[in-house]
Structure 1
Amino acid sequence: MTTLPFQALDPDLFERARALLDDEWLARDADLAPVLPTVLARGVGQDWHKAGTFRHHLVGVARALALWRQPRDVRLLGLLHSVYGNAYVDLVKFDAASERGRLAALVGEGAEQLVYLFCTMSRTQFVQKVLAGEFEADGGLVLEKDGQPQRLSPYEVAAFTIVSMADAMEQWFSWQDDIFSRFPHVLQRPQTAHWAASLWPGPMRPSARMLHQIAALGLALQHPGLRGQLPLPPMFEQCTRPLAQADEAAATSLYWSVIQLDQPLVDLDAATAVLEQAVRHNPWVGEPQMVLAQLYLSARRPDDARRAAESALQAFSAWGNAWDKRVQWDAWIAWTRILLQSATTGTWPERLDRLNNVALRG
């Protein structure tokens, strides 16, 4: 039996994730569904955004917030968090000078105020101050806007921190590691001198820089003035565990070396050992554990495969978005469920071509 920091699968969390796997989940959400047609009418499904379209991004952020049981105004913020534009993206779907009333009539004044603040504050300054722990005693935070202090209430700080966590996880991959290197302290580098880094989408490697920052944002929610403002996201053991920057980088590199077949290809032992080490460095993402589960199945180690697959499902269910963005979150979950089913029933194909036939039963 392999000793690794696998997580037990929380049945309640997994069921919440399953309810969000189909595209229809948003249409069934009584709070978000009435807003979606207005958002779609602004062309968000046609706009490029990092690893997909702007619609894909907005829905992915809202999905994570729904999974994390955030209240209506925070979930609406997730769905609308960039519609007034912001310093990071030039997309403007509602004119803040003339359409705030229209959006407020659609979602309510409280939710619209959160969206407006989130879009117009300095997001960079916000993340810097949260990571530095520069809170007031009650958990509030003071930013600077147009040369004047801008105070955010503890509730706003908690909401913006949680949405920032979901926002970063949904979109960040290796392309942004390079073009936004050292975020939130980004250096201005000439594009032509770094043309190779600019080529979109690049190798689509998972981020080696962002996850430890998301963990740090989660830890900030443990501030006495912030804890209890909103439900804590489930990752990192309810936002109580850090992730070292070096561990994140090592785990990504080890995982990617297996994905790129930069390991011995005839026997499984080297690739398995490398992935096990990746999981030790970073046990909070599902993709390395999922690939490890398949290697265990190929090595006829069904018990280890079951534990790895269950832990991968727990991680996928906690995030609501993929870490490895080569395929979407729902596809990672679907294949992991196949692996878990095979580990449980002992039905993993012996022949390579039979992998084409596997299907989820029940």
Structure 2
Amino acid sequence: MPPPPPNNTTNADSITTFVAPAPPVADDQLQSILASARPFLRGELESVDENLPRPLAVLRSVGAGECWHKHGSFLDHLLHTYRILKLWGAPDAVCLCGLFHSAYSNAYVNLAIFDPSTGRDVVRAHVGDDAESLIHLFCVVPRHSLIHDDLLFKYRDEAELREHLSQSEISLREAEKGEFDAGEAWRKKLNSILPREGVKVKHIKTGEEIWLSRRVLAVFSLMTPADFSDQLYGFQDAMLREEEIIEKEMGIRVSDDATTEMEVELVVPPMLERCTKVVGTKEQMEARELYWEAIAGKGSGSELKQAEELLVRSVEKNGVVGEPRVVLAQVYLSGGRFEEAEREAAIGLRLILEWGSAWISGCLGKVGLLGPGFC
């Protein structure tokens, strides 16, 4: 994906200046991602995978649709996680892991719809060996400490993260020429966090040691934002340390090592400009507040003009999410600025489909708050 041109600045005396640019959307690019998303929008799941209706029927038969989960049923969340991973181009085993990712309960929820001591053969029969192995692992590792404390939170310095991302891209280009430097700062830090041989973690229920390869950890790192982006709400966000409670209560006991190695294709999801863009916490919060202020207006007269200014600023703060651009397109459309509306709508739609989930949980589809001027 080509880098975006430099951001334009907003004229304080006029609201007709163009919003911060994003990479241009080629029609074939948008049509390709739309083609992937359309079967989900239409409920034509057999078009996604001819075998998908069967595991969904199994999940329904064991009551997944009868369990409450965040903003819908547990079945809804499982299917949404599958959808996100599918839109990201993940291999079938990873997507099916997303579909069954809490089937044996896990470090966050005690919602087992299959007994891991008796039901693994049932799951394996419907998803295959590789997917079932991933599903079981995903349900027994201490996910929060593993993914957040031991990996993601090692990069709290946003400046360092940006620098290391840039250095790694340069290294990749050099490696394609046959040049490789094992002493680079970004590589040394990554190796210190995640050694080549992988890591050992404790089974959340038995205390058994489990060895996880880098590849499996990469898969879990991919699944985590897919899982979280579909579901998190404020009152739930504080309830993310269940595995620590379990470990303290049971007292970890160590048995023979369990080792895990499997060949799973790795993919880089398309959002955040293929995971090369860092948006700071401050910018994310400011963009969210600007967006919310814009959609809380009446959507007519002077408030329509104010909404445009707010949305332009929101996009300048966080240009990697689609909802502000889609609403901005509606503002432009209301003002007869059709070319600008078409461009922002196309970019916004592409970004939403790249994420596969709502930017602000529960806000997707609430553009109607702006009033009739935005419909």
TM-score tier (shorter)? 0.7 to 0.9
1:112 equivalent to 2:112? Answer: no
Q: How does 1:129-140 map to 2 (within 5 A)?
A: 129-131=150-152, 132=154, 135-138=193-196, 140=198
Partners of 1:58 and 1:231 in 2: CA distance: 20
TM-score with structure 1 setting the length: 0.73
Corresponding residue of 1:276: 312
Q: CA deviation at 1:184?
A: 7.2
Task: Output the aligned Cα RMSD.
Answer: 3.1
Unaligned runs of 5+ in 2: 1-16, 155-189, 246-263
Give 1:31 shift: 4.2
What is the aligned residue count?
A: 295
Tell me the SS of whatever aligns to 1:35.
helix
Supply the AA of the counterpart residue of 2:202. Answer: E
In structure 2, how many angstroms separate the alpha carbons of the residues matched to 1:3 and 1:311? Answer: 12
Aligned residue identity for 1:314: R
Bigger Cα Rg: 2
The residue number in structure 2 matching 1:79 is: 99
2:351 paired residue among 309, 312, 315: 315
Q: Please tell me the residue identity of whatever aligns with 1:164.
A: T
Alignment check: 8 A CA contact 1:125 1:143 kept? no
Following the alignment from structure 1 to structure 2, what is the Cα–Cα distance between the partners of residues 170 and 88?
Answer: 15
Per-residue CA distance 1:61-116 (angstroms, 9 max, x = gap)? 10111111211210110100001011211211001122122222222222111101
Tell me the residue number matched to 1:6.
22
Q: CA 1:288–1:26 in 2, change beyond 3 Å: closer, same or farther?
A: farther
1:1-362 aligned within 5 A: 2-9=18-25, 10-11=29-30, 12-26=32-46, 28-128=48-148, 129-131=150-152, 132=154, 135-138=193-196, 140-145=198-203, 149-177=209-237, 179-180=238-239, 229-261=265-297, 266-326=302-362, 355=375
CA distance in 1, matches of 2:90, 2:244: 34
Identity %: 33
CA–CA separation in structure 2 for the residues paired with 1:185 and 1:46: 23
Kept in 2, the 8 Å contact 1:264–1:271? The answer is no
Structure 1 residues 61 and 352, CA gap change in structure 2 (3 angstroms): closer
Give me the whole-angstrom Cα distance separating, in 1, the residues matched to 2:355 and 2:319: 13
* Structure 1 residues 184 and 265: CA distance shift in structure 2, 3 A: farther
The alpha-carbon deviation at position 15 of structure 1 amounts to 2.4
Instruction: Summarize the Cα distance change of 1:248–1:262 in structure 2 as closer, same or farther, 3 Å threshold.
Output: farther
- Shift of the alpha carbon at 1:257? 1.1
Match of 1:210 in 2: none
By how many angstroms is 1:266 displaced?
A: 3.1
Q: Which moved more, 1:42-51 or 1:28-37?
A: 28-37
Q: Distance in 1 between matches of 2:23 and 2:354?
A: 11
The letter of the residue matching 1:306 is E
Inter-partner Cα distance in structure 1 for 2:71 and 2:52: 23
Deviations 1:125-153 (Å, cap 9, x if unpaired)?
12222202564332733323455643211
Find the aligned partners of 2:243 and 2:340 in 1 and give their Cα distance: 42
CA distance change for structure 1 residues 354 and 316 in 2, over 3 Å: closer, same or farther?
A: closer
Deviations 1:165-189 (A, max 9, x none): 1101111244445x44xx679999x
